[in-house]
Structure formats: C-alpha cells, structure tokens
C-alpha cells in the first residue's frame, strides 16, 4: 500500500513555513480551535474572493490575520469598509484585538488551491471536467511551472459508478524535499454528488541557502524571456530579409547580362 502524505506538511521547516505562527505553553488547544474558527469564518463569508490561504500570527492578546487572495478588491471594499467589517466580526468571534492584512496573488493560475477551486466551479456549471482540467494545465504551464498534476474523482459526468481521472504534464517529484510543490483540494457540489479535485503544481527546486521564489521574481523572469524573444525575432527577420535580397540579386544577374 502506498503511504501518502500531504505535500505541504511534508516540507514544513525545510522549504515551507507554517501558516500559524505562534507558540503557547498554556491554552494551546483553545488557540488551535480559534485558528480553525477564524479560517472557517473567512472562507465561509468570503466564498467568492478566491482565497488561497490564511496566515495567523499571535502576540499576547493580539491576532494578526493575513489573507492571500486573487481578488483583493472584493475583500477590501469601497474605501476599506470591507476590511473594517471583517475585523469587527473577527474581534467579536475571538474576543481579542485583530489586525487584518490583504495580500494579492498576482498569478492565480500558478496557485494549486485556486486552480482546484476554479475547476470545481466549472464542473458545478456543467462544463466538461476533461476540458476544465486541460485548460487549467495549459494556463499553468504558461507561467514558468515545471509540472502539474490534476486528479478528479467521483461520479464524473453523472456516471452511475464513481471513477478517477488523472491528467499530468511535466514532472512532479513528490519525494524530493527541496522540490517546491504546491497542493490544493476542492470539492464540486453537483446534483449527482460531490466531485473531489486535487492539484499538485511543481514550481522548481529550492536550493540550500535560498528562499522560495515569489511572484515578483517570476514577473522579472517572464519579462527577460520576452525581451530575449523579441530580439531573437528581430535578428531572424533581418536575416531572412538579407538572404532574400542576395537571392534576388543573383536572380537578376543573368537578365541584365543578357
């Protein structure tokens, strides 16, 4: 039997950091339950905000909540009113002073959790699951991703018997600890039952002494690659033009000589 483990939890303390950053000698179980309630509240009340993860930090009687989302405008609201409402509700829920920060995810097609939720939303809208999986893979591979694997399980297309479909492109080295593999899970609630979607995205290796690459580095690499491509295209056009010119001169030679 294969012994499977969570790709993110497997790499905690090596190349990944914890999503809850605090330490308590007393009241650990209460704080852990409070973290669960905070995350459940945020995901339930901001269902359409494309939230990838929620990080929580604690200092004394203060709680700092950082929400990573692809649609920050939905959370912030007009004039920051949305953030103020969320902070007030969280303070009422926890009974502590809460600070709320919103961080934008610039490339949602590179985030495994958001990719899984996108596929689930498409399946709920009766889009073919194979088409949704294929489009998600194509979008991710355009964003400097080394590999992606998508697993859909359940009564796919309303079939009588549940089955599992897997789509994969590139490589997914699950046993390599320095491999930066993001993992996401979502469920599509259809009329014929729930369909589970799992997504693994391999973003490259994190070498010793270096940190995980962020979205700004990805943007820089894409701009450099685009500039190189433009220069290469110009050289190619100049080369083709010069070769064409030589051919025309040679072709015109015998006519003038005759």
- pLDDT-based confidence at residue 256 (cuts at 50, 70, 90): very low
Checking if the pLDDT of 178 tops 60, the result is yes
Quote the pLDDT of residue 1. 59
Laid out side by side, the sheet with 97-104 consists of: 20-21, 51-59, 62-69, 97-104
Checking if the pLDDT of 236 tops 90, the result is no
Quote the pLDDT of residue 144. 87
- pLDDT-based confidence at residue 229 (cuts at 50, 70, 90): low
Q: What is the SS3 assignment for 88?
A: helix
The CA distance from 125 to 118, in Å, is 11
Of 38, 33, 74, 82, which Cα lies nearest the Cα of 56?
38
The CA distance from 8 to 186, in Å, is 16
């Amino acid at each position: 039997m294969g012994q499977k483990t969570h790709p993110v939890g497997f790499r905690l303390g090596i190349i990944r950091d914890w999503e809850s950053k605090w330490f308590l000698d007393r009241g650990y179980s209460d704080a852990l339950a409070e973290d669960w309630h905070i995350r459940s509240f945020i995901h339930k009340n901001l269902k359409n905000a494309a939230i990838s993860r929620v990080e929580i930090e604690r200092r004394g009687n203060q709680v700092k909540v950082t929400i990573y989302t692809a649609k920050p405008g939905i959370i912030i609201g007009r004039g920051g009113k949305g953030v103020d409402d969320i902070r007030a509700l969280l303070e009422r829920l926890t009974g502590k002073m809460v600070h709320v920060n919103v961080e934008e995810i610039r490339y949602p097609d590179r985030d495994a959790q958001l990719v899984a939720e996108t596929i689930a939303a498409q399946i709920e809208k009766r889009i073919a699951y194979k088409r949704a999986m294929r489009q998600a893979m194509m979008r991710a591979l355009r964003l400097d991703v080394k590999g992606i694997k998508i697993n859909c399980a359940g009564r796919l297309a309303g079939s009588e018997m549940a089955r599992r479909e897997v789509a994969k492109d590139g490589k997914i080295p699950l046993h390599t600890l320095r491999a930066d593999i993001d993992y996401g899970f979502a469920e599509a609630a259809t009329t014929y039952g729930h369909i589970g979607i799992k997504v693994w995205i391999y973003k490259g290796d994190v070498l010793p002494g270096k940190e995980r690459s962020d979205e700004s580095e990805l943007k820089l690499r894409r701009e450099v690659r685009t500039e190189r491509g433009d220069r290469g295209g110009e050289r190619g056009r100049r080369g083709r033009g010069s070769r064409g010119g030589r051919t025309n001169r040679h072709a015109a030679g015998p006519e003038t000589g005759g």
